[in-house]
Chain A
Amino acid sequence: MIKRRAGRTGQYLALVGYLVFLGFPLLWLVSTAFKPPRELATLHPTWWPKHPTLDNFRQAFDEQPLLHAALNSLLVALSSAVIAVLLATPMAYVMARHRSRLSRAATGWVVVSQAFPFVLVIIPLFLILKRLHLINALPGLVMVYVVWTLPFALWMLTGYVRAVPRELEEAAAVDGAGRLRTLVSITAPLLAPGIVATGLFAFITAWNEFFFALVLLKTPEKQTMPIILTHFIGAEGVADLGPLAAAALLATLPSLLLFALIQRRIAGGMVAGAVKG
């Protein structure tokens, strides 16, 4: 009994430690965003600003088109996530349910493709998009992000499909449901947490992506948040730290909000719901 209690205390301590470890950068970002310049470079930094100021936010908004960039990022990330999920779901279903040499080879290729470095693909990609007149255009960037996230999304969703018991689909078939009806009414709802998780992965990947956006977007009105953030950094890595932290905090909020809104969907048990009925 004592042993079990000690074990549980240890688990909680480890969890708290992990949460602090994860939360510290965010806490520091918030603190830095509200600090005046003189509090940013002290030998003994404080946890919280002694004289909190909104000047960093004011300066960040004055210098860079943050709202416009955030809207661009939102459009690109949402579009990429939705398209990636729409494409990946039926593909994942086929790969999970019809296992063959071909589907195994496809899965292998998916895993290998994740190892390609960005620089390997950027120039051919640039030339293709140029021919399609999609340089400096958000749909071009969406296309790239969909292609880039699709393999991993597919791999993720295949796992979720495999976790849906085949017996449920067979039972539906016995009850007279057609294949499409079974997919839409039985499988898809059970896959919802997986679809949400995959969509979130695609969204965050696109929201944070820097290199493709840097290369493909030319004019300020098209640029996304990660590009705008680099404008607060000068030669030799010198940074305008206060405004940079303020802008970075704003860039972090949408991902956090989205995650807070849908995390229950991800955490919700899927197969548990199926067997209750």
Chain B
Amino acid sequence: MSQETRLLIVDDDPDFVEGIKSILESAGYLVDAAYNPRTGLEALKTKPYDLLLLDIMMGRGAEGIMVARKLRKDPVLSQIPVLIITGLREQIAFLFPGQPLHPHLLPVDELVEKPVEPKLLLDKVSALLELAAKRKAPK
């Protein structure tokens, strides 16, 4: 099923994107990348994606959270599974001035830490895609 599966990475670090993009492509996924939240959101609106890989710390702060919040409000885009890839440890969740960061921003969220082992990344991606497929399938 992965031949037709299209993923979007939104991360402001092109080098990091290179690193995970090639892992995902080697597993047969079609991968696009956006290097800031704005073009990321535009891409989501113009093309259908099966999964979003989202960085949290972008631009002037935790702009990835803003992306996640916008997605949640959109009836169509909120169906896309989101895998958060972040340099922040889940257990730290330390505060950026006035901004608490919690790993579970969306009901479908999963979180992995940077850097991520290829196998773990592919496992999480396929697990999220399977969950989404199940949700869509008529009962």
**Is chain B a partner of chain A in the same complex?**
no
